[in-house]
Amino acid sequence: MQNSKPKYYLTTPIYYANSRPHVGSAYTTIVCDVIARYKRMCGYDVAYLTGTDEHGVNIERAAEKAGITPQVLVDKNEKIFRDLWKLLGISITDFVRTTSDDHARAVQTLVRRTMERDAQLPPEKRSIYKAKYEGRYCIYDNLYVTDTPEPADCQICGRPAELISEENYFFKLSAYQDRLLELYKTQPQFVQPDFRLNEVRSFVESGLKDVSISRKTIKWGIPWPGDPEHVFYVWYDALTSYMTGVGYGEGLDGEANTRFKKFWPADLHMIGKEIIRFHAVYWPAFLMAAGLELPKRIQAHGWLLFEQEKMSKSKGNVAYAEPIVKTLGNDALRYYLLREVVFGQDGNFSREALITRYNADLANGLGNLASRTLAMVDRYFGGVIPAIEAPAESTLWSKDDLGVTLSKNHAPEAVRVAQDAFGRFDFSAYVSAVWLLVSQVDQFLAIAKPWSVKEFHDLQAILYRAAETLRIAVVLAHPVIPEATQKIWEQLGQAGKLEDIRIDRLEWGGLKPGTKIGKLEAVFPRADKKETLEKIETMENELRNPGSASPAEPKPSAPPTTEADVPKPAAAASPAAVATTEPAKIGIEDFAKVELRVGQVKSADRIQGADKLLKLMVDIGDEVRQVLAGIALGYAPEELVGRKVVVVTNLAPRKMRGLESNGMLLAASAGADGKPILCTFAEDIPVGSKVK
Ligand code: MSP
- Taking only the tens place, the pLDDT of each residue in 29-43 is 999 999 999 999 999
Which residue type occupies 1? M
- Confidence class of residue 547 from pLDDT cuts 50, 70 and 90? low
Per-residue confidence (pLDDT) for residue 667, from 0 to 100: 87
Highest mean pLDDT pick, 314-323, 355-364, 385-394: 355-364
Nearest to 168 by CA among 129, 205, 196, 198: 129
With DSSP H G I counted as helix, E B as strand and the rest as coil, what are the percentages for the chain, rounded to 5? 45, 20, 40
pLDDT digits (tens, 9 = 90+) for 444-487: 888 888 998 888 888 998 899 899 999 999 999 999 999 999 99
Do the beta carbons of residue 687 and residue 620 sit within 8 Å? yes
Q: Range with the lowest mean pLDDT among 45-49, 156-160, 261-265, 516-520?
A: 156-160
* Residue 254 to residues 109, 225, 260, Cα–Cα distance (Å): 6, 14, 9
Q: What is the pLDDT of residues 609-632, one digit of tens each?
A: 777 889 988 889 888 888 988 888
Where do runs of H (alpha helix) occur along 247-367? 258-263, 276-277, 283-290, 321-328, 330-340, 351-357
- Looking at the chain, the whole-number percentage of residues with pLDDT higher than 90 is 61
Cα–Cα distance, 365 to 443 (Å, whole number): 11
140 CA to middle of ligand 1, Å? 26
CB 14 within 8 A of CB 106: no
Q: How far apart are CA 575 and CA 559, in angstroms?
A: 11
Cis peptide bond prior to 265, omega within 30° of 0: yes
Gap from CA of 431 to ligand 1 centroid (Å): 24
Give the pLDDT of residue 571: 31
β-bridge pairing 659-661 and 654-656: antiparallel
pLDDT in tens, 409-438: 788 889 999 999 999 999 999 999 999 999
Strands 7-11 and 45-53: parallel
Cα 17 from Cα 77, distance rounded (Å): 6
260 within ligand 1 shell (Cβ under 6 A): no
Contact of 648 with 625, CB cutoff 8 Å: no
Is residue 371 scored above 90 in pLDDT? yes
Identify whether the C-beta of residue 247 lies closer than 8 Å to the C-beta of residue 255: no
> Residue 459 and residue 448: Cα distance in Å, rounded?
9
- Give the 3-state secondary structure of residue 179: helix
Helix, strand or coil, per DSSP, at residue 216: coil
591-615 confidence digits (pLDDT tens): 777 889 999 988 898 887 777 889 9
Biggest CA pair distance of the chain: 95
Please tell me the residue having the least CA distance from ligand 1 atom 20.
25
What is the reported pLDDT for 401? Answer: 41
Q: How far is CA 592 from the centre of its chain?
A: 29
Give backbone dihedrals phi and psi of 10, rounded to 5 degrees, phi first: -130, 155
Q: What is the pLDDT of residue 573?
A: 32
d(CA 250, CA 36): 26
Question: Ligand 1 pocket, 15 CB below 6 A?
Answer: yes
* CB-ligand 1 contact for 53 (6 Å cutoff): yes
pLDDT band at 229 (very low <50, low <70, confident <90, very high): very high
**pLDDT at res. 162:** 86
**Cβ 19 under 6 angstroms from ligand 1:** no
Average pLDDT value for the chain? 87
* Residue 633: partners with Cβ closer than 8 Å, 6 or more residues away: 567, 611, 612, 673, 675, 676
Q: Is the CB of 674 under 6 A from ligand 1?
A: no
Q: How much distance in Å is there from the Cα of 136 to the middle of ligand 1?
A: 26
The pLDDT, as a whole number, for residue 587 is 66
What pLDDT is attached to residue 317? 80
310: β partners: 305
Q: Whose CA is closest to atom 5 on ligand 1? A: 13
Ligand 1 pocket mutation, candidates 20, 28, 273, 340, criterion most atoms within 8 A of CB = 28
Q: Which of 56-65, 511-520, 548-557, 600-609 has the lowest mean pLDDT?
A: 548-557
Pocket probe mutation, ligand 1, options 16, 25, 281, max atoms within 8 Å of Cβ: 25
- Is residue 146 exposed (0-12), middle (13-18) or buried (19+ Cβ within 10 Å)? middle
pLDDT at residue number 566: 27
Average pLDDT over residues 168-196: 97
Taking only the tens place, the pLDDT of each residue in 308-342 is: 788 877 667 889 999 999 999 999 999 999 999 99
